[in-house]
Structure 1
Amino acid sequence: MLTARSTSTAVSTRPKYFPWTNPCAYDDGQKAAFHREAAKRLRQLAKIMALDKADYAIRSNKAGPAVSGEITLHHERIYIQISQFGHADGILYRSCRGRADFAGGANNFAALPLLDDLPSLARRIAPLLNTTIAESP
């Protein structure tokens, strides 16, 4: 079982708001900002969830001009992907068995704005890792 950090010490301030639902399609600037900010939030989320840096990778696939592409955190036991895929629930997360597992457990979804509330997102994902995330004081 993993022991996650208290959210009060792992992230001292809430991340700055980002316009997650502004379309990336045919907007290179928005797409670049979306990928940059999503990767940053995934690194912060990994810290909150006490994931060892050696046990995960963060990848960015910008794909073609008509789509947002996706940003993925692939851990030994959890797979989290951020994208704009037609509705507001642009965070996909599921369990997995190693970094070669791209199918994993059942898909779960969360709304993109949860990337602006990482402690809440961490608490939502934590049960897939058989851990809990402490509430902020």
Structure 2
Amino acid sequence: MFQWAKSCSYDDEQKCRFHSTTRSRLKKLAAEHLAAGSYEIRSNKAGIAASGEITLHHEQFYLQVGQFDLSPGHGILIRTCKGRKDFTGGPNHFVGLQLLDDIPALAASVRIITGVG
């Protein structure tokens, strides 16, 4: 299992693993629950003191993963949107990074929050 709570700040090796593992999990989520061509996955590594973020941007929602707050229940932002050019979207909803280890549970959270999937 990946150590989601291990900070990426000032640790380039951990940041690379964080981005690689997250992208892999988001690709799995998308492949299993979203129509091909209805989403894109982006990664922004940001500066040395931050984790950056990995985004799955669908036509009706986006999911952004980062070490925003390492307390339980945070790390994955889920927000509705109106197309892939909408970067502000609806209200913020957060779930814990550990859901990246349970793709069906993450998909269920996305479905509950957005109605998609």
Which category of TM-score, normalised to the shorter sequence, fits these structures? over 0.9
Correspondence for 1:71: 54
State the Cα deviation string for residues 27-70 of structure 1 (Å, max 9, x = none): 00000000000001001111232x12311110000000000000
1:1-137 paired onto structure 2 within 5 Å = 17-49=1-33, 51-88=34-71, 89-131=74-116
Aligned residue type for 2:23: A
Give SS of 1:81's match: strand
- How many residues align? The count is 115
Q: Return the TM-score normalized by structure 1.
A: 0.79
Unaligned runs of 5+ in 1: 1-16, 133-137
CA distance in 2 between partners of 1:131 and 1:52 (Å): 11
Contact 2:81 2:90 in 1 (8 A): yes
Answer 1 or 2: which has greater strand percent. 2
Aligned equivalents of 1:127, 1:48: Cα separation in 2: 17
Structure with larger Rg: 1
Identity of matched residues, %: 50
Q: Is the CA contact 2:76–2:94 (under 8 Å) kept in the aligned structure 1?
A: yes
RMSD between aligned alpha carbons?
1.3
Report the 3-state secondary structure (helix = DSSP H, G, I; strand = E; otherwise coil) of the residue aligned with 2:37: helix
Question: Could you tell me the TM-score, scaled by structure 2's length?
Answer: 0.92
Determine if contact 2:78/2:110 at 8 Å carries over to the other structure.
Answer: yes
**Structure 2 unaligned residues grouped into runs of 5+:** none
* Partners of 1:22 and 1:106 in 2: CA distance: 28
